[in-house]
Structure formats: structure tokens, C-alpha cells
Structure 1
Amino acid sequence: MTALDHRPGATDHDEPPAKAPAGLAVWVRDLVMGMRFAVASGREGWTRTLLTAVGVGLGVALLLGASSVPNLLAARGERSDARMIALEDHAQRSDSSFLFEGIGTKFRGADVDGFALRPEGSHPALPPGVDRMPGPGEAFVSPALKKLLESPDGALLHDRLPYRVVGTIGKAGLIGPSEYLYYAGSDKLVHEEGVPRSSGYGRQMESPPLEPILLVLILVGCIVLLMPVAIFIATAVRFGGERRDRRLAALRLVGADNHMARRIAAGEALLGAVFGLAVGTGLFLFGREFITTMDIRRVNSFPADLSPMPALAVLIALAVPASAVAVTLFALRGIAIEPLGVVRSAASRRRRLWWRLPISVVGLVLLAAFGSIDEQKGTVNTFLIGTGAVLTLLGLSMLLPWLVEAVVTRFKGGPVPWQLATRRLQLSSSSAARAVSGITVAVAGAIALQLLFASVGAGYTKRTGQDMSRAQLQMLLPVKDGAATQKMIDEFGATKGVSGVIATINAPVTSTGPERGENDDPLGTSVTVGSCATLQEIARPVPCKDGDVFVINGAPGSPVDQDLPRIARPGARLLLNGVDANGKPEGPHRTWQLPKTIRPAQGRPDPTGERTTGLFATTGAIDVTKLDHPTARAMIRLDPSVPDAAEHARNAAARIDVAATVFQLMDTSDDQRFASVRNGLMVASVATMALIAASMLVTTLEQLRERRRLLSVLVAFGTRRGTLAWSVLWQTAVPMALGLALAVAGGLGLGRVLLGLAGKSGIAWSEVWPLPLVGAGLVLLVTLLSMPPLWRMMRADGLRTE
């Protein structure tokens, strides 16, 4: 023992002092201590932690939903492929074969898919989800279709589905729970009459790769929808910042240094984030059970389909707590927490613009200079386009706090509510800016996305050439004889909601003379049979009476039927029954002698956009029962004043023949994949807007809770409650107006650059102005919902303290 060891009371058995933890151990110790403080500081601590958990949980629930989309699409695709009837070129009759025919329809705009089946053996292949083949007059229906048929609304559908329901189709045979699908048994299907045959199910539909512009829409859409989620999570972990800082000052008083205090604060946020993961998982599992009741543009699925991808679920579980710690440390970087207080209470220096503005500028430059869409190769520079869009929207969220601060510092005077609001914003504009930053980013991204949709959508929407002002439905029906035309006219004429019918019957005719075409084949054309009123719809008006025959040429300058001048000779005989491969008539001769007078008529597009050429015979000029392989066609005009007029017309078509094909005429048609992308983004937008509303409400309630004692003091000194309510409204309205103005400017800038990448120009202003109104309405709704809690917080018991 040296002389230095001879201290008063020292012995040889003294142990050296324990080493203080260092490195990772310090972080673990302080984070755990912060988590303990979060739950051990009484009701105030639990309230703060629960609010954080709810705010984070809402974002986590949406992130889990977004990470489930790949599995959802894959599950729907697998079930769709599994139930597709296998197409076989030379299918032979066997014990497992069956005949099938599509007999689907529409009901109030929704597709009702149906198939008529007829087994050819004792063990026919069964559709997925069905345990036996339906017999004649029987049907297996989806649960949603069964529910519809049993409801009062389903009465209109019974005429088209005159079957006895013997069971429901299981999940394996349905794409979604609200799908309308049925399999009906039939004993009238005959393979020799052209009905297809198959012996199994399962056919993979190969889709070509998405076009580059659709990839850009999906990429930008995902960024626009998910960035507000990240912002709200970052906002939620900062709940209770001012009260937290006062607690940290107390910790400094008992010996904690500045770094330790910040790590303890990060531990409190970490616990709220961990609880938020649990809350978000619970909300996701609870909410997905209701996905069967959601039906946005017929997009729905089963709860089990909404399962997160494991890798993405792990990433969310790690990223959310890590983000909570990082955001808290970043928020405390400019705050000096001292033993006797927080420097935040002193005048702080103004926010700098020089580093905020370049973020959006760099994003736009990155998009404009390096983002590329190669239409020829079908490639997209997804990384640079995604990075540019993220930087642009991130810059807007960074620019908003500076803008709010720069504007509110210039406010002076005004009514009392306005002064209370502006003074609060001048003292602490950060919380107000954070509350509307998510809606700012969402509106800016939505404006850019809608501009891109409006610009490129014209390329995916095509004019069909159909004229819905002349007819709204078309029915096609293969018939055995021409008498079906009059039957159609009579049936539709007596149908409720039908104001007019354009009915024709078309069949091939062949020349019986010596004229021959190429390869020595008999010359042929077609004959269209109808009334004089029908002629007015398919040709230029000419004098017409029953018994007349006309030759209808195409439009001026267009190619006409080359055989018409040689066939349509006055008094010539035409063969009405078809010819075989050798040019010989099929069956006994059935001929038709043309009248001595045949007049020409100039054809014009009918309501479906098609031009009829060839011979036109009025009903008194030809015996329609002698026509071979005729096709009946009706174009139906509906009365818009009659409810469900289209459904009554479809029922009439089913009474004529259950296999009749009815088409809805449309002025325009959308590309299916473009429509799928648009519908998918719409579904995601609804979920994101719901999250924005819920998160803003939680944020507003947290801010009111922070100011509860101040509100109670103001009321105790005689301030009217209405004055305080108006001040709260102004505190929300000012940042909201600034945020939406910034959103419009940023959205227009981002949208203009994206339009340039797509080779488009021009801004559709009609797509811009509704979005700020939606954002403003959402903020005002949240503010109104916060009024009842505000009234309760202004009571005198808010003056009590612990």
C-alpha cells in the first residue's frame, strides 16, 4: 500500500468504483428510463402516451394496409385465373367435359357474370367453389347475388335469372365478396350449334407490361398517399413537447446532462411509438374485417387477402420506433434544456429560408433534368422520378413553418379573438404548421396527380362512335327464322320505359346466276330486313313504303360492296340458304326474286356507329322465315323519366331469349388498365383522407390539452367562451390558408414538370380548384369536431394542478 492509499477509513478490502456505462449501454439505459417516465408520471403521462399511440397507430394501420396491396392483388388474380374456363381448340367429349355459354348481364350498372353449363359425362369438371353441377333450371349464385335476389331491389332481376337457387359459390370461386356471379344448368346447349366445349378450369391471363405513363401514375400516387402518413407519424411522436421540456429541466436539476435529457425524451417518444405499433396492428386487424362491406367502384376483397408482406411488415416495425427517436432528437437540437428552465421560452431566432427552399427546387430540377419516360422501350427512370417527387413534397412541408412564421409576425391589432389567435401563432407557430403540413402535402400531391391524370386520360379514353341520343341499348340474338324481328318489336314495344325500337334482321344472300367472284366462288352480300322507320336510322331519308327494296351504299368516297352492282339487278333471283365449301346450296333451294324497281340509298351510321351496306328489304318485300342463319338486332331507346328503364328492357330481352346479348351504348370507352389504376388510387385516396381527418383531430385535441390551464385562466378572468372558440378557429384557419396556398403553388409546379415528362402541356384548371376546397373543408370539419372538447377544457376545474 503506498502513501497515497492511506486515506482516513481506507482498508485493503475497498473495491474500485463501478465503471459508468458507455456507448450503446448509455443509450439503452436512458431510453428505458424515458419509457419508465412515460408511464410513471401519473394521468398526465398516460394521456400523452396514449395520444401519441393513437396518432402513430393511425399511420401504422394505413402503412400495413399499403403493404398488403401486393398480396391482395395476387390473391384476387389467383382466384380469377383458377375459375377461368379452359379453352381447347379440339376438345373431345369425355366423362369430364361440359358445354358452356356466357349469359352475363348488368344490373343498375354492376356486372352480373353468369355461365350456362351442361355436363356431357357423369363426372364433369366443377367450377371452383361449387360442389356439384347445377341441373336444368338450377343455379349456384354468389352470396352477394343471393342477397340481392332476396331483397326488394332484386325483384327486377328475377326475370333474367329464372332459376331455382340450390346453393352458393364458395370463396375459392369468387374474386371478391360483393361480386355478382352465377352458374346455371341448361339442357338446351348443343355443341353442333357452335356452343363451345371444355373439360376443366384454370387459365392464366397474360397481361402485357404496364405502359410507362401508367407506371409514373402509380409511382407518384404511392408517394402522394404515403408521405402524409409519414408526416403525421412524425407529428404524433412530438405530442406534449412543451410539458416534456419542463420535465427535462427538472431532470437537469437532479444531475442529468443535456445529452442524457434528450435521450430520455427520445425514450418517452419510443414507448409511444411502440404502443402505436400495437394500436395500429389492432386497428388494421379490426378494420380489415369490414373490407367486405367496402365497395368502391366494385373493388372489394376478403379480409384474409389483406395481409402485409412479411418483409414490409418487419420494415414498418423497425422504422416507426427508429423514426420516433430520430424525430425527437432532431426536434430538440436547437433547444437548450437548463436546470432552471428551457431556453425555448426566450425569443428564438427566425427560421431560415436558405436551406428550406432549395429542397423543392432540387426535386423539380431532378425531375425535369434527369427523369425520363421512354415510350419506345417502355422504361421509366423510377428512382429519379420518385426521388424528385419526394424532395418536392418534402420541401413544401419544410417551407410551411417558415411561411407561417413570416406571415403571422406581421399581424397587429384586430378584434379580440383575432389578437388571441395571432399572438398564439406568433409565440408558437410550429405546432400550428405541423397540424396542417400533412394536408398541405396531400393537396399538393393530389393536384399534381390530377393534372397528370387529366392530361394523359384523354389518350386512354376513346370515342366509340356510338350515339346515345338515338339509342341506349343494343340486343343481338341468333335466331332460327326471321320472325324474331317482329317478336322483338312487339316485346320491346310493350316494355315499360322503352320509347322506341330500331329492329333489324340480317342474313347472307347469294347470287344464283352465272356471276362468279374470286376463286370461282358465288357472289354474295347481305340483306337487312326492317321497317321504313328503321331505314331512316341506317340510311339517308328516302321515300319508303312497305314492299320496297333498296341498295345501301357506304359513305361518299368510301369503298362499296363490289358485288352489289352485279347482284342487285332488278328482277334477279338470290339464294337465301347458305352454301357449303363447294359452293353448293345447303338443303333445298329457297330463293328470293328482287322487284323490278330497286332504289339506291346513301348509308349513314346507326346509333351504334356502324354503317349498313348491301340490300335493305322492308318486311313486306321478303319472307323472313326463309332466311338462313339470321341474326336479329334491336337498338333500344329508353325513356329517361322512367326509373330502371334499362332493367325493364333487359328483362324483355331475357324473355325473348335468355342467351340474348345486351350491350350498353357508350359515347366513350376507357382503357381497362388505366381505369384499374385510377380506381385503385381512388380507393387508397379514400383511406388516406380518412387517416388525415382522424390524425388532424387527434393533433388538435392534443394541442387543446396542452393549453387547458391557459384556457381555464382566461375564462376565470372573464373572457367569453365564444371569443376563445373563435380564436381557436382563427388559429386553424390562418395556417390552413397559408398551407393550401403553398399546396396550390407546389402542386402546380410538380404537375407541370410531370406533364413535361409525359410530353403534355396545358393545365386543366377544373382539376385544381376542387382540391383546395376539399382540404379546407376537411380542416374546418376537424375544427368543428374539436369544439365540444374545447368547451369542456374551459371549465374551472382546469385550474387544478398536481
Structure 2
Amino acid sequence: MSARQWGRDLGMGLRFAFAGGREGWIRALLTAVGVGLGVALLLLTTALPGALAERDRRGDARLDYTFSDTIESPADNTLVIADTGTEFVQHDIRGRLVEPEGDRAPLPPGLREFPAPGDMVVSPALKELLDSDGGALLRDRLAYDIVGTIGEQGLIGSQELAYYAGAEGLAERIGDGMVGRIDRFGDPYQTEEETDPVLVLLVLVVFVVLLMPVAVFIAAAVRFGGERRDRRLAALRLVGSDGGMTRRIAAGEALGGALLGLVFGTGFFLAGRELAASFEVFGVSVFPSYLNPSPLLALLVAVAVPGAAVLVTLLALRGVVIEPLGVVRTARPARRRLWWRLLLPVAGIGMLAPMLGQGRENGGFNGYLVTGGVICLLVGVTALLPWIVETVVARLGSGSVSWQLAVRRLQLSSGAAARMVNGIAVAVAGAIALQMLFAGVEGDYTTETGFDVSRAQMQVRVPDGAELAAATAKLEETKGVRKVYALSEGYLGDRSWTKDPERSAELTIGDCVTLRQVAQLPSCADGDVFSLRGGEYDTDTPSLSRPGQKLYLEMSSAQDKAEEVVWTLPSTLKEAASVEDPTGTKRGGFLMTPGAVPADVAKAVRGELYLAVDDSVPDAREYVRNTAFAIDPLSHPATWAATERTQRFDAIRTGLFAGAAAVLALIGASLLVSQLEQLRERRKLLAALIAFGTRRRTLSLSVLWQTAIPIGLGLLLASAVGMALGAVLLRMTATPVSVDWPSILRMTGIGAGVVLVVTLLSLPPLLRMMRPDGLRTE
């Protein structure tokens, strides 16, 4: 067969797709919408790596490294900058105070000029939040005048909350850890993180799992309108075309729908690209300019989708006998064979088996074997599901009229029913496997913070030399605060800190009630001093606990020009046993009550406030942050949690959730299109049943059963394959295999919920089709 003949036959099919009258256009449009949705998500996926890289680039370009004072003296090109980031209703707000020290001070990316003291420049999203009714508490905290907005180059996402505010006198605070002097923005230390094989495996599996349902839906979309197409193919045989030519024409018709789908998909992608700037998914937002697909990957999509349309059509018709008087698909088909369908999952397990037990200690996982193995297992779902549906429905017995109508329809066209469910089954199987893998390895990336959240839930640092009692009183009066434990902390050495003391110990100052949170005190009165025993990693306190011993107080960089503070241990020194404090550690060193604190020591230590918060009070933590910001913008209230996860693990998990949301939206839209296409093909049948007196309720229930039976079987198969794949992936990471039943139930429930929503949305058009006038024809 020559290429010229192939081109002529495909071209004839293209003409049939767009010149076949109303029915041909409807089928082409349905195919184009189904393919277009898949193409849009594929283009989005090809653009995703570039979008994430651009977010990282912009984040690196604005780094200011306030934790390190690398420039000692002010100059014409230096800028003093302070980190004043905060939180609001579980949203992080990036905040900076800036004070230029010369005309050539580096301007932060996205700013045209420095804000004056008392003014601030904000991101568009933060301005919108501050202007909204829900931003009243935040307006109280950020009481600056808004004089402009941050440009796109200074933000990592369209919904990022950020601001730069002008300030004065910041140079006096350099060295306290939150204020620094810089002469440029950006990352001066371009170091690459060590690659974690398990995290790379997670990324590979996430991409395969998210893209497989898209491929399945595209393959199903190009087969829309199969029954009506059969009649056209029989007509072609009647006028003289042979079987091969007829199949090529059918492939050309599918090619026309796929090409139109590329156009639709490009339009959907461009519309979604602009719409993406309005949303934030799991804390991640992007600008439309981020979403530029790689030209090579976009070209691959443009070639692969039409090619897949032709290939899928030819494969679908390989066992169909097309004769001039009809298509022998309407007769009872031969029973599907099982043996070759089992080869795919077996091949998938075979690819993954060599990496069982590898873990993260034996190098990286083979990306090709991982990708191939996961694809084979997930494609195995699409191969096994038609056989399972056919085998089960063939054995279903009698029941109500709606049940019998549904079962008989499934017995005649079980393949079409399985195709509609394949995508959701693949998505659920992949999601179950990923949930098992995430749950299994989560412990490796989760650490206990040690914080005793039963005693305190927040921590506020008071600046060096600030009045601790006044700050404590303000926080105690704050709405939602139950208790404030106020401690002043510092370090003592056996000689001046300019000469690096040989021995050192902690110093903790507080009243008797608060000191009992850190030690067992034999007795306590204002003016007492205690030496602690049993502190973690504390070996120097016993040798320093001699009455009359002179100890030197460590000074912060901001205080290093002041006169050194020396404290002499009193003769009335008592002993106390250390206990776990609210931070979960046993501190050592010395305890002092306020009455024993010399004035120079009180000015040199820093205050730490531990707060018990009443979470039953709405916005209690926001009130605390507002009070802390009023005390000092650099106070940085910290919210405690019992555990914390590594950022890279959280980023991958966030990417999975964001991608899963997009895939679920595609699943729902594609299922709805598929359902409407099937109802359109059965319009005359439904009208005939109504004309003979069948109740609408009966027909509606039959349509529901036709969806529920295959989806139930598909979810059962997806659960089995997902658990098998999850177990294999866990064994690859050398993690004990455990079944995360809540996640499995949640994933299957989400899949069933999507199908239920689609079924409900298809009821209105179904009711419109159930009219006797649907029998009219031309």
C-alpha cells in the first residue's frame, strides 16, 4: 500500500468528518472537546517544569540573606534590610523593611523606587486582601501607607502576599539575626542540593500517574460515535471500497476530530493560562508568562495526538468485519481472552522487580524502568477492565425493568462502558499507589519538633534590651491569650567572649511560677538564684557554680560596642533539677528571679515569651501577631507544631495535589462529554421506549445502573492494582509495606463522587431526549 493511497483515504475521512452534515459535525465537535481537554492538560504539564524553574529563579533573584551581616560599614551602594515576614489566616506574607544608605543602594526586584519611612509597596494580592472586609486584622498590623505595587519580576506567583516598607534606624539592629546590610540581591552561593533517590522516584511516579488518565481519555475520545460511524462504513463498502480502505477512511475521520481537538486544546490551554493567575492551588500560584510549554514537548504533543487517533481507530477496527449490508459488531462478539491482558501488569512488575529493596543507600533508581513499569501496570487496568466487565455482566441475573435494561445494554456493548470508566480507574489506581508511597516514606521526612504544645502554642521573641514586663503585660491583655510564660535568656562564660571562653552555661531569668516550667525548685522567692543539674548537653555548669565566680555575659553584635557585663555568683546559690521546658529540652546553667538580676544584666539579655492560646477564640493567633508586631516588627511570632516535614517532600506532595485537582477536573469534564455522546447515540432507542409507555423513572434508573456497574468494577480493579503498585514501590524504597486504608477509601470515594456528579449533570439532557418526537427523522 503506497503512501499516496494512505493519504487519499485519510483525506477522504477528513472530508467525512467535516462535511457529513449535522451528525458529522456533532461527532467531530464531541471528539474535539474530549481530545481538546486532554491536549490542554498535556500542554499544561509540558509547561509545568518551566513554570517551577521560573518560580525558583525569581525567588533566588530577590534573596537578601538577612541572617548574615557580610558588610560591616555603610557605603553609597549598601542597603539595610530586615525580615518582617508574618502569617495571616495560614497564609505566609513575605515582608521586608528597607533603608537605603546611599544613592546606589540595590533596588529590590519589582520596585521602581524605595518607599519612604512609613510607606510600603505591596503585591497586588496583598493589596486586594488589605482592601477586603476580611483583611481588617491585617490592616491593623501593617499600618503603613500603600504607595505602589510590586511588579511581576519581584514576585514568585500572582497570588503571593508580599510587601516592602520604608524604615529608619535599622542599622542599629544589625547583628540580631533578622537585620543585615547588603549591596546586591540574589544568591551568592549557587550550590546544588544532594539528590535524594526516593524523592526523585516520587517525582517520576507523580508525573506518570497524572499523565496516564489524560492519555486514556484522549484514546477514548477519538472513538466517539462508533455506532453511527459503522453505518457509514457499511455504505462505503456498498459503493465499492474494500475493507482496508474503509478502515483508513474511518481513521481519517478520527484524525479530523483529533486535529480539531488540537485547535480546541490550544484554545483551552490559552484560556486556562490566563485564568491561572486568578487562582492559588495548595499555596502555589503562577503568572501566565510562566506557562510556556517547551517547543519540543509541544511539537511532540501535536504529532502524538493525531498519530494516536489513527492508531487507536485502526486497532479498534482490526477485529470488525465491515460488509455492505452492515457491520458485524452488532452481533454477539467473541469472548475476550484473559491471558494476554495479564502480560502487561506482569511486565510492569518485572521491570520494577530488579529495584526491590534498593532504598536510598544504593544510588538512584532507573528512571526508564520506573516509568515503563508504572505505565505497564496502569495500562494493565485498561486491558483488564473490559474483560472483567464482560465476564461479570454476562452472569448478572434478572431484576427490575431498569436493571434488565441496563444489564442487557452492558452485555451488548461492555467495551464502550469499560472505555468510559478506564480513565477514572487508572487515575484512582495511580492515586492509591501514590498515597501508599507517601504514607510509607512520610516518616523519613517528618521530624518531631519536641515542642510541648499542651503548655504553649506560640513563641514571641522580645528584642534585646526591650522592656520584658511591658511586652508581657500587652500580650496577657491580648484577646485569646490564656497564659504568658516570660523568660529572659542569655549565655555566661568563664572569661570575656572576645577571648572565647573555655566554659559556658545558659542563663534564664523569670519569676518563680515561670521557672517551675523549666526546673523542680526546692523553694522559691524573689531574689533567689539556682544552679541547674541534669541539663541536656550541659557539662560546664557544675564547674562554674562556685560562689564568687565571675561570669561574663555574651553580648549580641548590636551591643558589642557597649561595656562588657560581668556578674558574680552569690553565696546563696541554690540547686534545682532540670525538667523539660515548653520547647521540649532540659536546659542547664543558672536560673535567676527578677529580684536578683542586676540592671546591666537585665538590659543585655533577650526576652522569650511562651504563650498558651485559646483556639476557641476566632482569630486568636492573629491578635497575638498584631500585638507582637506592635511591640516590635522584628519579633517574629512562631506557631508551634508537634511535627514538621522537609520542604522538598512537602513541595512534591503539593505538586501532586495541584496536579490531581487538574486531572480530576479533566476526568469530570471528559466523562460528561462521553456520557452525552452515548446518550445522543441512544436518542432514538430512548424515544421508542417512551413511545411504548416506558416510565421516565425506569429509563433514568437504567442509565444510572449502566454507569454504576462498570464504575464499581473499575474501582475494585483500581484498588487492587493500586495496592499492588503501592506495595512494590514501598519495597523499592526499603520501606515496610502497609496498606493505608483511609487513603484507599478516600480515593475510591472521590472517584465514585466524580462519576455521581457527572451522572446527575447528564440527567437534564437525558430527560429532554426521552420524548416520542425523538423518533422523527429526515
- TM-score band (shorter)? over 0.9
Q: Is residue 2:265 matched to residue 1:290?
A: no
- Aligned-pair CA distance for 1:608: 1.7
Local SS of the residue matching 1:507? strand
Gaps of 5+ in 1: 1-21
Q: Distance in 2 between matches of 1:519 and 1:587?
A: 15
Local SS of the residue matching 1:123? coil
**CA-to-aligned-CA distance 1:702-755 (integer Å, 9 cap, x gap):** 111111000000000000010000011111111111111111111111111111
Matches within 5 A, 1:283-682: 283-369=268-354, 373=358, 375-376=360-361, 378-480=363-465, 484-509=467-492, 525-540=505-520, 542-555=522-535, 559-569=537-547, 572=548, 574=550, 587=563, 591=567, 594=570, 596-627=571-602, 629-682=604-657
- Aligned-pair CA distance for 1:356: 0.6
- Aligned-pair CA distance for 1:786: 0.8
Q: Which amino acid aligns with 2:690?
A: V
Q: Does the 8 Å contact 1:578/1:585 carry over to 2? A: no
- Aligned-pair CA distance for 1:374: 5.8
Matches within 5 A, 1:127-146: 127-146=108-127
Matches within 5 A, 1:131-280: 131-190=112-171, 193-194=174-175, 195-203=179-187, 205-280=190-265
Q: What TM-score does the superposition give when structure 1 sets the normalisation length?
A: 0.92
- Aligned-pair CA distance for 1:591: 4.7
CA change 1:788–1:592 in 2 (3 A) is same
Q: Does the 8 Å contact 1:507/1:627 carry over to 2? A: no
Q: Is residue 2:696 matched to residue 1:697?
A: no
Q: Does the 8 Å contact 2:62/2:108 carry over to 1? A: yes
**What residue number does 1:95 align with?**
76
* Counterpart among 57, 64, 79 of residue 85 in structure 1: 64
Matches within 5 A, 1:725-764: 725-761=700-736, 762-764=738-740
Q: Is residue 2:759 matched to residue 1:783?
A: yes
CA change 1:711–1:212 in 2 (3 A) is same
Q: Distance in 1 between matches of 2:555 and 2:322?
A: 99
Local SS of the residue matching 1:718? coil
Q: Distance in 1 between matches of 2:503 and 2:532?
A: 17
**What residue number does 1:75 align with?**
54
* Counterpart among 738, 743, 748 of residue 767 in structure 1: 743
Backbone CA RMSD of aligned residues: 2.4
- Aligned-pair CA distance for 1:91: 5.6
**CA-to-aligned-CA distance 1:355-403 (integer Å, 9 cap, x gap):** 1112112211221235674623541111111111111111111010011
Q: Distance in 2 between matches of 1:168 and 1:603?
A: 51
**CA-to-aligned-CA distance 1:300-355 (integer Å, 9 cap, x gap):** 00011111110010010111011101111111101111111111122221001111
Q: Which amino acid aligns with 1:40?
A: A
**What residue number does 1:7 align with?**
none
**CA-to-aligned-CA distance 1:754-780 (integer Å, 9 cap, x gap):** 111111122222222211111111111
CA change 1:222–1:626 in 2 (3 A) is closer
**CA-to-aligned-CA distance 1:24-48 (integer Å, 9 cap, x gap):** 1111111111111122221111111
Q: Which amino acid aligns with 1:507?
A: G
CA change 1:519–1:676 in 2 (3 A) is closer
Q: Distance in 2 between matches of 1:507 and 1:279?
A: 66
**CA-to-aligned-CA distance 1:670-702 (integer Å, 9 cap, x gap):** 000000000011100000000001001110111
Q: What TM-score does the superposition give when structure 2 sets the normalisation length?
A: 0.95
Moved more, 243-252 or 185-194: 185-194
Q: Distance in 1 between matches of 2:565 and 2:419?
A: 86
Q: Does the 8 Å contact 2:551/2:569 carry over to 1? A: no
Length, aligned pairs only:
769
Q: Distance in 1 between matches of 2:223 and 2:203?
A: 31
Q: Distance in 2 between matches of 1:305 and 1:559?
A: 49
CA change 1:223–1:579 in 2 (3 A) is closer
Moved more, 105-114 or 710-719: 105-114
CA change 1:249–1:554 in 2 (3 A) is same
Moved more, 49-58 or 611-620: 611-620
Q: Does the 8 Å contact 1:160/1:658 carry over to 2? A: no
Q: Distance in 1 between matches of 2:546 and 2:478?
A: 37
Q: Distance in 2 between matches of 1:142 and 1:317?
A: 37
Q: Which amino acid aligns with 2:472?
A: I
Moved more, 200-209 or 399-408: 200-209
Q: Is residue 2:106 matched to residue 1:125?
A: yes
Q: Distance in 1 between matches of 2:565 and 2:307?
A: 87
Q: Distance in 2 between matches of 1:473 and 1:640?
A: 11
Moved more, 34-43 or 203-212: 203-212
Local SS of the residue matching 2:420? helix
Q: Which amino acid aligns with 1:36?
A: R
Gaps of 5+ in 2: none
Q: Distance in 2 between matches of 1:321 and 1:734?
A: 32
- Aligned-pair CA distance for 1:661: 2.4
Q: Does the 8 Å contact 1:56/1:276 carry over to 2? A: yes
Moved more, 205-214 or 684-693: 205-214
Q: Does the 8 Å contact 1:52/1:272 carry over to 2? A: yes
Q: Distance in 2 between matches of 1:157 and 1:193?
A: 27
Q: Which amino acid aligns with 2:477?
A: A
Local SS of the residue matching 2:516? helix
CA change 1:586–1:574 in 2 (3 A) is farther
Local SS of the residue matching 1:66? helix
CA change 1:777–1:366 in 2 (3 A) is same
CA change 1:586–1:657 in 2 (3 A) is closer
Local SS of the residue matching 1:627? helix
**CA-to-aligned-CA distance 1:41-60 (integer Å, 9 cap, x gap):** 21111111100000000100
Local SS of the residue matching 2:641? coil
Moved more, 178-187 or 624-633: 624-633
Q: Distance in 2 between matches of 1:746 and 1:446?
A: 11
- Aligned-pair CA distance for 1:109: 1.5
* Greater gyration radius: 1
CA change 1:119–1:263 in 2 (3 A) is same
- Aligned-pair CA distance for 1:553: 2.0
Q: Distance in 2 between matches of 1:590 and 1:756?
A: 60
CA change 1:27–1:566 in 2 (3 A) is closer
Q: Which amino acid aligns with 2:24?
A: G
- Aligned-pair CA distance for 1:97: 1.0
**CA-to-aligned-CA distance 1:269-290 (integer Å, 9 cap, x gap):** 0100000000011011001111
* Counterpart among 8, 21, 26 of residue 42 in structure 1: 21
Q: Does the 8 Å contact 2:462/2:471 carry over to 1? A: no
- Aligned-pair CA distance for 1:496: 0.8
Q: Distance in 1 between matches of 2:164 and 2:499?
A: 46
Q: Distance in 2 between matches of 1:593 and 1:374?
A: 55
Q: Does the 8 Å contact 2:59/2:156 carry over to 1? A: yes
- Aligned-pair CA distance for 1:294: 1.6
Q: Does the 8 Å contact 2:440/2:730 carry over to 1? A: yes
CA change 1:386–1:524 in 2 (3 A) is closer
CA change 1:568–1:154 in 2 (3 A) is farther
CA change 1:510–1:710 in 2 (3 A) is closer
Q: Distance in 1 between matches of 2:194 and 2:538?
A: 40
Identity of aligned residues (%): 48
Q: Distance in 1 between matches of 2:565 and 2:391?
A: 94
**CA-to-aligned-CA distance 1:97-134 (integer Å, 9 cap, x gap):** 11112111111121111111111112311011111112
Q: Does the 8 Å contact 1:466/1:667 carry over to 2? A: yes
Q: Which amino acid aligns with 1:489?
A: T
Q: Does the 8 Å contact 1:576/1:627 carry over to 2? A: no
Local SS of the residue matching 1:67? helix
- Aligned-pair CA distance for 1:580: 12
